[in-house]
Structure 1
Amino acid sequence: MKKILLIFSVILFAMGCSNKSENPGEISKEISKKIEVLSTRKVKKSLKNEETVLIDTRSYDEYNGWDIKETGIQGHISGAYNLPASSLEHEGIEAFLERKGITKDNKIILYGDDTSMAEMLSENGYDVYLYEAGIKEWNKKKYPIEKLPRYESLVPVSWVKKLLEEKDVPEYNGKPVKVINAGWGKKGKFHKDGHIPGSYYVHTGWFEVGPLWNRVSDETIKTELEKLGITKETLVIVYGEDPMPAARFAIICKYAGVEDVRIINGGWKAWQEAGYPTEEGIEYPLPVEEFGMKVPGNPDIIIDLPEAENYLKSDKSDLVSIRSWKEYIGKISGYDYIKPRGRIRGDKWGMGGSDPWHLEEYRADYGTYMRPYNEILKMWEDLKIDTDKNIAFYCGTGWRASEVLFYAYVMGLDKVSLYDGGWKEWSENPETEDKILKGEPENLNEEKY
């Protein structure tokens, strides 16, 4: 598993095809004839019924708060689910709805610029309606609208492209920029094969070291960031083939003291799907002489074993495991370089994915986008994870937990951190190796340290 502002060096000669999730089609008049269209008054009245669900069919980025179409509106109708119409190209609609707890017993109201989903739902036996006036009318009437608290830290590919083309973009203050493609591999083969033009490669192994795969020394972090031309005032935008290594590097940057660190929502896959220009090869940035402060500038975002133990002893803190269920109950360790199996006594399971290399429970309905944040909050509520507490996330060695930590940050949580050592350190340390549990817990997330 261990496994910028930069000017384009080449002219972007091709705009490519448009991102379907950001430029959805017009409302179909034929569909409107088949599906009942509700007024704003009727929608508001319907939402008083618990069986009614409202679905925003716009892109994940618009839902989060990005005003991509420059309407002056940021976010989504309060309480709405998010299921982009573009999702229909990837998998069956029923699986997506089931994941959100939506069934044929629900009354489904759709809004957005693309209503192709309405006909499909109707043909499959769902009770579906259209709110054509949508969020513009809702906003005009000053009804509640929500957004991801720190949406600006999770950026759309369209925003990145405009930034690189030196066009005016919102949520940017003119700082120097570095776009970083993070992954595992000293030679950066996947970066050489194709990447966002002008972006630089980072091997996560420059910032973490075995056998525990904890972060390297503070002085080494500072030196490596300076080699990359990054100072505390650089706007660092990270992406990757997978969000995990991107998040791992992003958290290291925040720990070091970089003031503005962002992740591209959807990463490399989203850039490709948008049909944007790419380039091959590898170039290295000009280094800087000084990062600009002593590292770490933000030490509390990463904790180590002693602090992790204190979290378990405190009623005001939780240590949350971001691992697969099989890892958590000790059926597997999940890694060929970790022998012990089980979980940390007294921790809480925060779900994860099917194995150590996947994080489906925190990803959107397809691809590499962040899962809609209200779904993550509901998941944590069901798991008895109190977001008012101090929360430290851990996994095997830090990648999965880093991704979830970044999501927690953009969700507006401030008392969150990464337990860097994770299961490997805890299970192999003589002082804590006996403080583990195996098997299914009798009462999930109620075990004591």
Structure 2
Amino acid sequence: MKKILLIFSVILFVIGCSSKSENRGEISKKIEVLSTRKVKKSLKDGDTVLIDTRSYDEYNGWDIKEMGIQGHISGAYNLPASSLKHEDIEASFERKGITKNNKIILYGEDTSMAEILSDKGYDVYVYEAGVKEWNKKKYPIEKLPRYESLVPVSWVKRLIEGEEVPEYDGRPVKVINAGWGEKGKFHKSGHIPGSYYVHTGWFEEGPLWNRVSDKEIKTELEKLGITKETLVIVYGDDPMPAARFAIICRYAGVEDVRLINGGWKAWQEAGYPTEVGIEYSQPVDDFGMKVPGNPDIIIDLPEAEKYLKSKKSDLVSIRSWKEYIGKTSGYDYIKPRGRIRGDKWGMGGSDPWHLEDYRADYGTYMRPYNEILKMWDDLQIDTDKNIAFYCGTGWRASEVLFYAYAMGFDKVSLYDGGWKEWSENPETEDKILKGEPENLNEEKY
């Protein structure tokens, strides 16, 4: 009888421990936990890869958990544990250039992917002390240089609810939901509480879809209640139109313009409150300065030609490969196909409506910036030069421009007219190329 009770007690203890381990996400015994000293030693080996499993925002530099940490361990990749339900780990690793020849060290509050990787044949370890211990020892920490320009949904929620938040100086705030559609149908069906709708067609016009006149930009911003001193926080179903409006605001002279990382989808997934319907902002009498206050952020066709002729500047195409080599124009309202002679290809996405090469593994978040820098380096895009991004009519290039600004680059701009203007202008329509380049990004104007 005593033996039976003893066995029963052991079973209960084992079940209890198993439940405790699962609930806390504790690390399996088959996964080795490394000390800070061992991690530091391992990183001297060129085959060792460190992966931060925290959110994109924490990786960028937001101290969401108020631990006194801004950023990530120097050189670490970012693969949030929360993305596991959305993304195949192996596909993500392939994109990052990580193989089974690498020694993988995970850190973050949730390292549950360690066992998954181990089962798939990866050599994986866990650094349980993580960035908190690393920071405490004053070892190198990195962050997105202007991380505050790309805000988390949690920060926005606290701000609009009247809480005290970091990286905010108390100025008036306008949260803007930007997209295409005069009547704002998608905004009416659901949006962040208190946000106002912007139709990008109020700020750009056909047939070239360049920005409207400076006078019209000023008038439209005043209608929205925006002055140069307003904190403008922009989001949307898609980051492209949001970034397009954000760049227009910066061009006009708005001092503080930010994008919500992940946009509307991130807000919904966080389970935050939403509103329906549409309200219009109280207008202001004056924007507060002459527009444009920041003219260099957008260039036009004459400047684009100068960029192509200068050894200190580059014109970078943010378009799909099929568009770039002239297999398709990408648009039903653009007939010419090809690329601008002498430009460089900066990648983009699968078509004009997607920008996978600049998005994170899941959703509408910015791709971790060190991956973008590596991509540009591989493409021989020199970030020490003056760079103007272009696409078909400005949306994709605006998003990449905003990310470049967040990465700390100041000599960056948007060629507003893009492929449509260049290919349809009598002075430049013959200065185009088609077919695959013999040497990518080495063609001359």
TM-score, with structure 2 as normaliser: 0.95
1:328 matched residue in structure 2: 324
Instruction: Indicate whether 1:269 and 2:265 are aligned.
Output: yes
1:2-51 CA-to-partner distances (Å, cap 9, x unmatched) read xxxxxxxxxxxxxxxxxxxxxxx98523x242210001011011111111
Q: CA RMSD in A?
A: 0.8
* Distance in structure 2 (CA, Å) of the matches to 1:329 and 1:124: 38
Q: What does 1:335-414 align with in structure 2 at a 5 Å threshold? A: 335-414=331-410
1:445 matched residue in structure 2: 441
1:384-408 CA-to-partner distances (Å, cap 9, x unmatched) read 0000000000000000000000000
* Counterpart residue identity of residue 111, structure 1: Y
Query: 1:270 Cα shift?
Result: 0.1
* Counterpart residue identity of residue 365, structure 1: D
Partners of 1:54 and 1:79 within 8 A in 2 = yes
Partners of 1:322 and 1:350 within 8 A in 2 = yes
Q: What does 1:68-147 align with in structure 2 at a 5 Å threshold? A: 68-147=64-143
Between structures 1 and 2, the one with greater helix share: 2
Query: 1:185 Cα shift?
Result: 0.2
Partners of 1:334 and 1:355 within 8 A in 2 = yes
1:305 matched residue in structure 2: 301
Structure 1 segments, 4+ long, off by >6 Å, are none
Partners of 1:35 and 1:119 within 8 A in 2 = yes
2:214 matched residue in structure 1: 218
Higher RCO, Cα 8 Å, sep 6+:
1
Instruction: State the number of aligned residues.
Output: 424
Query: 1:417 Cα shift?
Result: 0.1
1:16 matched residue in structure 2: none
Equivalent position SS for 1:355: coil
Query: In the alignment, which of 143, 152, 155 is matched to residue 151 of structure 2?
Result: 155
Query: 1:380 Cα shift?
Result: 0.2
* Counterpart residue identity of residue 28, structure 1: G
Query: In the alignment, which of 422, 427, 445 is matched to residue 423 of structure 2?
Result: 427
Partners of 1:208 and 1:216 within 8 A in 2 = yes
Partners of 1:303 and 1:420 within 8 A in 2 = yes
* Cα separation, partners in 2 of 1:133 and 1:26, compared to 1, 3 Å: farther
1:169 matched residue in structure 2: 165
* Counterpart residue identity of residue 308, structure 1: A
* Distance in structure 2 (CA, Å) of the matches to 1:130 and 1:116: 10
Q: Unaligned 5+ residue runs, structure 1?
A: 1-24
Partners of 1:27 and 1:113 within 8 A in 2 = no
> Identity, % of aligned pairs?
89
1:3 matched residue in structure 2: none
Equivalent position SS for 1:34: coil
Query: 1:342 Cα shift?
Result: 0.1
Query: 1:91 Cα shift?
Result: 2.0
2:25 matched residue in structure 1: 28
1:125-161 CA-to-partner distances (Å, cap 9, x unmatched) read 1110000000011011110000000000000000000
Query: 1:92 Cα shift?
Result: 1.3
Point out the structure with max Rg over C-alpha: 2
* Distance in structure 2 (CA, Å) of the matches to 1:272 and 1:388: 38
Partners of 1:26 and 1:113 within 8 A in 2 = no
Q: Unaligned 5+ residue runs, structure 2?
A: 1-21
